[in-house]
Every structure is written in structure tokens, then in C-alpha cells.
Structure 1
Amino acid sequence: MNNLWKNIKKLSLFIIAVFIGFFLTTIQPFFKLLKNKKQIILLLVIIATIFVIVYNTLRLMLEIN
């Protein structure tokens, strides 16, 4: 029974490591874009545009005035 709990602990640590690795791999290209001022502005505009689209979509879906 003790071996079971060790395996469960190892599995949970593995899952956490996979999620952290996934997010770091996904976010890493954005840090490369932050080296140039023009690309920083472009990235901020893209993020703001995505935020506005998601906000408006949710507002219309939920019929919030």
C-alpha cells in the first residue's frame, strides 16, 4: 500500500511538471518578441484586441448591457 502512495505522489509531480513545461514552451516566443519596441507595441495591440473581442463576445452571449 505504501508503494501505491509513492506512485500517486510521483504521478502528481509529473503532471505538474508537464503543465509548467507546456506553459513555459508556449510563452517563450513572446519573450523573444519583447526585445524590440515596435514588436512590444504590436504585441500589446494584439493582446488588447483579443481582450476586446472576448469581452464583447461574452457580453453579447450573456446579454449583459
Structure 2
Amino acid sequence: MSNFWKNLYKSPRFLTSVFIGFFLTTFQPIFKLLKNKLNKVLFLIIMVIIIGTCYTIIRKMNGIK
């Protein structure tokens, strides 16, 4: 029974390390691309378009004017 509690106490650290590892491996290629100024501008424009499109779609879906 003591092994169960030890493993239970370790699970939040494991979950945290999994999330950190996921975000690091996901965003590392994006950070490498952003070292170039042209890529930064293109990335910013694309993100603004994506966020604006999502915002407009959600507003229209909910009937907000």
C-alpha cells in the first residue's frame, strides 16, 4: 500500500513534466523559424488572421452583434 501512495505523490510531477515536454517539442521549431525577421512578420500576420477568423466565427455562432 505504501508503493501506491508513493506513486500517487509522483504523478503530479510526471504530469507536469509531460506537459512541459509537449510544449517544448511543439514550439521549438516555431521558435527556430522566428529568428528571421521576415518569418516573424509572416507568423504575426498569419496569427492575426487566424485569431480574427476564429473571433468572427464564434461571434456569429453565438449571435453576438
TM-score by length of 2: 0.88
Instruction: Please say which of residues 2-11 and 55-64 is displaced more in the overlay.
Output: 2-11
The structural deviation recorded for 1:3 is 2.9
For the residue of structure 2 that corresponds to 1:45, the secondary structure is helix
2 CA distance for matches of 1:21 and 1:62? Answer: 35
Aligned to 1:46: 46
The structural deviation recorded for 1:62 is 0.7
Aligned structure 1 segments of 4 or more residues deviating by more than 6 angstroms: none
Tell me the percent identity: 51
* Structure 2: unaligned runs, 5 residues or longer: none
TM-score by length of 1: 0.88
1 CA distance for matches of 2:46 and 2:38? Answer: 12
